[in-house]
Structure 1
């Protein structure tokens, strides 16, 4: 085999659905950078012209037509380089997810995706049709004919082909067939969403494929919070014959993140540079990186002017506050102070200049002060500990902090209802009502602050609460976005300890010494979340066994009993409570503010887990459980 050396480049792009100008600008920037590095082939992510998250708009023929017109613009930038760019193609009343190959300003062909993602957060079969293996057709667009299908391409004698995202995750993946055709290079344009530790799996997928098929393998993923819920880590991988040649830093704040490498193609290729990959992944570092980037993209793409937060001094709101502070720290480190402020859209030239003159830590706190406004809204049932926790954390990160009480408003609503009913409301008879009114009364004033500041109101519900409906609708669930609704409470608590110790957020010392509590009952009742529910460790395990592993209630009981998570009677009571509360509160999960997908599953019915609002409530299954 003749030896050929090609410079391969792949770029992660931070795209937005239907942002034609912005998306094309990032594509053009990537092409220009690849040319500067004398790249022969540039790989761009899946559907990067339209954005991956267009959802039902993909079913509108005009979207594919518009994307094709944009492709013709991209074509003119590709002199002296081969570029693979993703877009939908509408053909025979069906939509195909394709990668178009442009070589020196000429469209060579379109490879269409063969396997469509349909599990978890994915709904691709709703929009796209799968392309059959080994089939190539011809279609006409704007008077020109083009090839589309399962195509093998060639660059300076080196044959290459595609696996588009999900194609690579299937046992009968296209690479299995391509190797027999003499293919030496696989390109994988992807829109692979972020989940904790997923990069480990993706790394093995790419590197192991390059070893199994004795080929070079290049992978490019989307970057950032593209459409609201999904986060993309922007991973770029170049591997050959089981060795990793290039890998970038994930979850950066750039619009375009490009990596390149010279790769030798021969019978025994010389691999000059090898990167050592050192798992395991630190999920705390992953979480804070994903959260901070997702919040920044959500803020700037929604053209909002920062965030407002009802800071209770508890774990959930504290995590939201730290996430905004980390957004500033990581963003400034990633792209520099001036670029960060420019991308945030609402800092004036004078503010940018003034902030640039401040010491680094002082500048960060000043930016947080403009981007994050917090309020502690106490009642007679609130403790001095949570007030101190909220005040000290806000002060330590530089957030704007307000403090007021809501007892007068609570009493006003309570008195009205008592007058209408002709009786007093009591904790013995009206416990839930008296708790909920406190949470609901907090919503109007904090919404007022958000409206005044044109800011996003952060809802603070977590996944554990969402599972059992342990939240007040239109109270603590109020918000424009619910950034931590995909994370369980146990993870949040250990994360805050880690953030205090490893990231230097000393203001977290107060919340880390508190037991989680809604603080809605009189203080003498010493209310805690786990007393109201069950140990969070058990709650989270029931949730995972029930809806990720999909076990029946009786099977969940058997597994927890074997693991000695409690006595038989305790476990029966906890499992019964969980399934009963889960079924009763689906309507709440339907109404939660948009949430980020952060773990390998979530309970959001609009992305990962659908469940009927009305159901039998596992009545028969729970009766069977009690007979154990």
Structure 2
């Protein structure tokens, strides 16, 4: 039997795009004489439709699209995902179409409801071993825990989360029923190192349940925050039959392979994947995410306030690497068509270029940067920003904002009847510099119909080390899902392994906001605490969900007790005080195994007691 999966780059409510991708996959399956084609979870409407799943009209619209798709499926079995709403309850289903006929709907039994997932808000779980009939548009259909058959081979489903439920997963029930093929359409979000877990989930299951397992994931930045790696896996009895290249820039990644059910591969021990390099995973994911966000928002490019520091430098390199990777995979003409960055005549001229010359020419069309200096800015950061922009081909502007800062400062001084000083008004004088940078860079974004890239990272978000409406301003915050320590080490890796020599300047600098007078030699870690420690406290507090007392106990011995207590107090105090900032950050990509975004992974009250009693127990207050 020839099995196929197609990872699709879908978009919520974009019926034309979604159906075109589905049709492309079906046509490829028919050309390859495929027996069974699996498409990702919720492939008709897009997985990220959120509260639309609660609307009666929406599920009805999806069903009408299903009837269109059905007519394309001559001579092939296609498994396609959509919501089915019965008696005011929505189910997450995979529909099996065989030779233009709907055979049935399998409904998801376990719903993801942790981390970034809120499936129980929209869907209801299906009861195992039950099947019922329903009527839609005058026709009767079966829905439930169905066992299907093709060419004497029984097949059934696990839909995404179903497979993650260990001893309760449906595969345990499928095996005694003689199921030889398990199909898993998924929308499993990307997180660094997660692919190793998913690989074993699939390949180990093929060995444990002595079956063939076909797994197909969604692809790309579907709806703004979540990234999907488009993984396609076919495994039999512990053997990997097919595994594709992840995080593609294609709209449709179609893969197929032949599998014998008469003479299956022998049961073997599963071969582990080589160690995962999170540096490669990170840049692969963020470049696909930026590419999709750019084209799906129908923007014309990016604008970036390039300070010469680590965060803005990483964002600039991510845009350059997005251009490089996308053109390398899908070609110049397809890149230009999808990003709308070049006219046909310009494409003809660009075809004469290659390598870094082509990359830099395209970056020059897509990325505008500006260094917005003050009297407190150093020559080192200016050189870092200018040389990096030059090395990647970005448009680079340089202006100062001292006049605007003085204007605001004098207005307030006249109003309150006294001068503002660094001794008494430190935060106020720092914030006005960061905040005054926003209007000018927003103007550049408006002028070019571009996305403004914010540059805050997760460590800064945790403790509110950012000026609201200043350096947090932006349409998208690409690196807010990773911590500062990761940012700094990644830049060194990128200089060494990706050839971005322009990073040599930033890699020799200590992170600094450069908002105090230069004589003060301000650094981030002096303002806060060592970044590795900040990241440890954050992870223990909100990923491991430990109390302040447990966090202190686990870290004891890394610093003198009094110093560690002050760091722990500073973290929890700043965390509690700055939840309102996290509520207002620009949308961020989910890149790590957790994040601090209250609209996706971590909710926390804006107003709270600030861990006062818990910190007292540690002996801090």
Q: Any stretches of 5+ residues in structure 1 without a counterpart?
A: 1-5
The CA distance in 1 between the partners of 2:620 and 2:379, in whole Å, is: 46
- Please say if residues 204 and 270 of structure 2, whose CA atoms lie closer than 8 Å, have aligned partners that are also in contact: no
Query: Once the 2 structures are TM-superposed, how far is the Cα of residue 350 of structure 1 from its aligned partner?
Result: 1.3
How does the TM-score come out when normalised to structure 1? 0.98
- Please say if residues 238 and 270 of structure 2, whose CA atoms lie closer than 8 Å, have aligned partners that are also in contact: no
Write out the 4+ residue segments of structure 1 that deviate beyond 3 Å after TM superposition.
270-278
The CA distance in 2 between the partners of 1:279 and 1:407, in whole Å, is: 52
Q: Residue by residue, what CA displacement relative to the aligned partner does 1:223-258 show, whole Å, maximum 9, x if unpaired? A: 000000000000000000011110000001000001
Query: Once the 2 structures are TM-superposed, how far is the Cα of residue 36 of structure 1 from its aligned partner?
Result: 1.3
* 1:10 is the counterpart of 2:5: yes
The CA distance in 1 between the partners of 2:269 and 2:31, in whole Å, is: 23
The CA distance in 1 between the partners of 2:335 and 2:499, in whole Å, is: 22
Query: Once the 2 structures are TM-superposed, how far is the Cα of residue 337 of structure 1 from its aligned partner?
Result: 1.1
Name the structure 2 match of 1:110.
Answer: 105
SS in 2 for 1:626: coil
Query: Once the 2 structures are TM-superposed, how far is the Cα of residue 356 of structure 1 from its aligned partner?
Result: 1.3
Name the structure 1 match of 2:248.
Answer: 252
The CA distance in 2 between the partners of 1:521 and 1:404, in whole Å, is: 19
Name the structure 2 match of 1:182.
Answer: 178
1:121-270 to 2 correspondence within 5 Å?
A: 121-171=116-166, 172-266=168-262, 269-270=264-265
- Please say if residues 82 and 103 of structure 1, whose CA atoms lie closer than 8 Å, have aligned partners that are also in contact: yes
The CA distance in 2 between the partners of 1:245 and 1:50, in whole Å, is: 30
- Please say if residues 223 and 234 of structure 1, whose CA atoms lie closer than 8 Å, have aligned partners that are also in contact: yes
Q: Residue by residue, what CA displacement relative to the aligned partner does 1:349-389 show, whole Å, maximum 9, x if unpaired? A: 11111111223321111100010000000000000000000
Q: Any stretches of 5+ residues in structure 2 without a counterpart?
A: none
The CA distance in 2 between the partners of 1:385 and 1:276, in whole Å, is: 49
Name the structure 2 match of 1:620.
Answer: 613
Q: Residue by residue, what CA displacement relative to the aligned partner does 1:4-41 show, whole Å, maximum 9, x if unpaired? A: xx000001000000100100000000011111111100
Q: Residue by residue, what CA displacement relative to the aligned partner does 1:316-370 show, whole Å, maximum 9, x if unpaired? A: 0000000000100000111111111111124211111111122332111110001
* 1:573 is the counterpart of 2:566: yes
RMSD: 1.3
- Please say if residues 245 and 275 of structure 1, whose CA atoms lie closer than 8 Å, have aligned partners that are also in contact: no
1:284-433 to 2 correspondence within 5 Å?
A: 284-433=279-428
1:30-69 to 2 correspondence within 5 Å?
A: 30-69=25-64
* 1:80 is the counterpart of 2:70: no
Select the residue among 445, 458, 461 that pairs with 2:456.
461
- Please say if residues 245 and 274 of structure 1, whose CA atoms lie closer than 8 Å, have aligned partners that are also in contact: no
The CA distance in 2 between the partners of 1:414 and 1:514, in whole Å, is: 30
Query: Once the 2 structures are TM-superposed, how far is the Cα of residue 279 of structure 1 from its aligned partner?
Result: 1.8
Q: Residue by residue, what CA displacement relative to the aligned partner does 1:415-448 show, whole Å, maximum 9, x if unpaired? A: 0000111110000000000000000000000000
Select the residue among 523, 526, 529 that pairs with 1:531.
526
The CA distance in 1 between the partners of 2:329 and 2:537, in whole Å, is: 39
Query: Once the 2 structures are TM-superposed, how far is the Cα of residue 271 of structure 1 from its aligned partner?
Result: 6.8
Name the structure 2 match of 1:585.
Answer: 578
Query: Once the 2 structures are TM-superposed, how far is the Cα of residue 277 of structure 1 from its aligned partner?
Result: 5.7
Query: Once the 2 structures are TM-superposed, how far is the Cα of residue 626 of structure 1 from its aligned partner?
Result: 1.2
The CA distance in 2 between the partners of 1:224 and 1:273, in whole Å, is: 33
Query: Once the 2 structures are TM-superposed, how far is the Cα of residue 92 of structure 1 from its aligned partner?
Result: 1.4
Name the structure 2 match of 1:609.
Answer: 602
Query: Once the 2 structures are TM-superposed, how far is the Cα of residue 272 of structure 1 from its aligned partner?
Result: 13
The CA distance in 2 between the partners of 1:540 and 1:448, in whole Å, is: 35
SS in 2 for 1:219: strand
Select the residue among 24, 45, 52 that pairs with 2:19.
24
The number of residues matched between the two structures is 620
